[in-house]
Amino acid sequence: MPERDVFYSGMRKLEKWFKKTLDDDQMEMWLDKVRNIPTEPFNKIIDELIDQGRPNSFLPTPEDMRKKWFNWLAINPERVHKAKEFCPECDSTGALEYWLWKTGSIYGYHCGCAKCENWRNVFPTQGKNIPKLMTRQEIIAIGGSLDDPDRQPRESRRVVNSVEEAVDIAVNDIPF
């Protein structure tokens, strides 16, 4: 969880850049949705959202923030030091990424892995934002695709040779 003051100062930056104001209730709701993002990636995500957002345009969403969080996890797996159980279903990440067609467009989603407990490291474990837990088979059963429809296979993003390259990917590889 980002520390409270870190969360608020990051959110104030977004408010200024995008010229939007959130009230206290909205702030609390937002915090509830991103409470599993630690301070360091949280700050990096705020910077990226500002780098990639036009001033005065739409405020990014909590979902935008979570997408960047999963991207950060994908390129920094060694930085998540909580005890993880080995799970081939989700590559031990606790999350499964999938795509669904809806009214002619394809949308990307994340759900928790139903075969292990690792999702507890990356999703809220209390409140309304507990993720749906699914297996790969269940995703396919609801018509979901496990392969990114318009990008290279996920594995190719994981091969990172240097810190510079990882930063480059984090900045240029905008999820979805």
Instruction: Report the alpha-carbon distance of residue 93 to residue 63 in Å, rounded.
Output: 18
Could you report how far apart the first and last alpha carbons of the chain are, in Å?
A: 24
Among 130, 109, 134, smallest CA distance to 120 is for 130
Q: How far is the CB of 120 from Zn ion (least distance, A)?
A: 11
Closest to Zn ion by CB, 63 vs 91, is 91
- Tokens at residue 55, please? 């001033």
- The smaller minimum CB distance to Zn ion, of residues 15 and 117, is found at 117
| Residue numbers at the binding site for Zn ion (CB under 5 A) | 87, 89-90, 113, 115-116
Cβ closest to Zn ion, residue 63 vs residue 89: 89
Q: How far is the CB of 22 from Zn ion (least distance, A)?
A: 34
CB of 136 to Zn ion, least distance (A): 10
Give me the least distance between CB of 85 and Zn ion, in Å please. Answer: 8
Nearer to Zn ion, 71 or 93 (CB): 93
Handedness of CA 173, 164, 118, 37 (dihedral sign): negative
